[in-house]
Amino acid sequence: MNPYLHVLPEVSEALSTGKPVVALESTIISHGMPYPKNVETALAVEQAVRDNGAIPATIAIFGGKCHVGLSREELEYFGHAPDVWKVSLRDMPYVISRELYGATTVAATMRIASMAGIKIFVTGGIGGVHRGAETSMDISADLTEMADTSVAVVSAGVKSILDIGLTLEYLETKGIPVVTIGQDEFPSFYSSKSGYKSPLRIDETNSLARMIHTKWGLGLKGSVLIANPLPASDEIDAAVMETHIREALQAAAAKQVKGKDVTPFILQYIAQHSKGESLEANISLIKNNAALGAKIAVSMLELV
């Protein structure tokens, strides 16, 4: 066991006895949603994993360790503490060695999940290639991590704050299968549509589990990106969203927001300017993803 890992007893028991476990990220709690909705959502997401037959393991960093599974008090702390770092892969050595509090992104959560032996990870939306990346070079470490680490990622697609077309191209370059559940079009988080055809479509959870199992059985390392369209009743009109996104991008440029601050700034701007509608959609889709992730984790274990 890696000395920098601390696994909650319920999670380590599940892993050692072959029960399904689903990893969850903490950046969405600390930097993606306002308090107290973030904590309520984190708890509801954990419950959705349990209701579908798996054990949740929310991942975060504190006290010099990567924690796999958080207590209610710890979740609560990450929900409102002002001093929590947003930790992607490159921030891990600093935040861990200085014993700071760190909420983990998709990239860091995947890596820690993999260290603990967890194969399925649920999030809302992944980071990707940003609009304008041809000059800014802003490409999320989530994508390179998906090339390196063998943990499947359940998402609601890619948010259109990013360049969805370039993100799909990048995933292709890195050999990462992208599978949409139940429809031909790749979804864009707030909408079931994106204007891009999904590279792959699978409708049944057990077929999906078999494909993931086959990828790793072939010795192909890396992730499978699963796109789960949000429930139709929670969709936000794409044209309305585009207006918010353009304004958010302009505001970010005017304030010279750079680097790791770009994604949280845009997400927060959109949440504030869409009068809570985006927050409700966000909560709904992540619960929906948690249910699917748990079902995939259960199916994966039936294959081995």
User: What residues line the site for ligand PSU (CB under 6 A)?
Assistant: 25, 27-28, 32, 88, 105-106, 124-125, 127, 140-142, 159, 189, 260, 263, 267
Nearest distance from residue 105's CB to ligand PSU, in Å? Answer: 3
Secondary structure (3-state) at 196: coil
Select the binding partner of residue 33 from Mn ion, ligand PSU, none (C-beta < 5 to 8 A, by kind): none
Report how far Cα 45 is from the mean position of its chain's Cα atoms: 12
* Sequence-distant (≥ 6) Cβ neighbours of residue 44 within 8 angstroms: 283, 287
Select the binding partner of residue 142 from ligand PSU, Mn ion, none (C-beta < 5 to 8 A, by kind): ligand PSU
Rounded Cα distance between 275 and 73, Å, is 29
145 binds Mn ion (CB under 5 A): no
138 binds Mn ion (CB under 5 A): yes
Residue among 105 and 228 whose Cβ is closer to ligand PSU: 105
Count of beta carbons in the 10 Å neighbourhood of residue 26: 30
Please list the residues that pair with 129 across neighbouring strands. 139
Nearest distance from residue 232's CB to ligand PSU, in Å? Answer: 19
Nearest distance from residue 18's CB to ligand PSU, in Å? Answer: 29
Select the binding partner of residue 88 from ligand PSU, Mn ion, none (C-beta < 5 to 8 A, by kind): ligand PSU
Secondary structure (3-state) at 97: helix
Residues with catalytic function:
25, 159
Residue among 179 and 257 whose Cβ is closer to Mn ion: 257
Question: What secondary structure letter does DSSP report for 162?
Answer: B
Nearest distance from residue 40's CB to ligand PSU, in Å? Answer: 16
Strand 65-68 relative to strand 85-87, pairing: unpaired
Please list the residues that pair with 201 across neighbouring strands. 180
Select the binding partner of residue 102 from Mn ion, ligand PSU, none (C-beta < 5 to 8 A, by kind): none
Is 149 within 8 Å of 114 (Cβ atoms)? Answer: yes
Residues that bind Mn ion (CB under 5 A): 138
